[in-house]
Amino acid sequence: MAGKVVSRDGTWRAGENGNKAGVVMPGKFVVGDTYPQEFAPGIAEDVALNIGEGFSTTVPAGQFTGVIRVEESNPIEPGGGTSEKSYASGVGLIADDVYQLAEYRADPVLVIEPAVRLSWRGTSGDVILECAETVNGPWTRVTAPLRDIPGGKETWVVATRQTKLFRLRRP
Per domain, the residue ranges of the chain are: 20-95, 115-169
pLDDT of residue 110: 80
pLDDT of residue 6: 86
Q: CA angle, corner 166, sides to 162 and 169, nearest 5?
A: 140
- pTM as predicted: 0.57
List, for residues 53-91, the tens digit of each pLDDT value.
999 999 999 999 999 999 999 888 877 678 999 999 989
Separation between Cα atoms, residue 66 and residue 89, nearest integer Å: 7
Residues of the chain with pLDDT under 70: 1, 80, 123-124, 161-163
pLDDT of residue 163: 65
Separation between Cα atoms, residue 27 and residue 105, nearest integer Å: 24
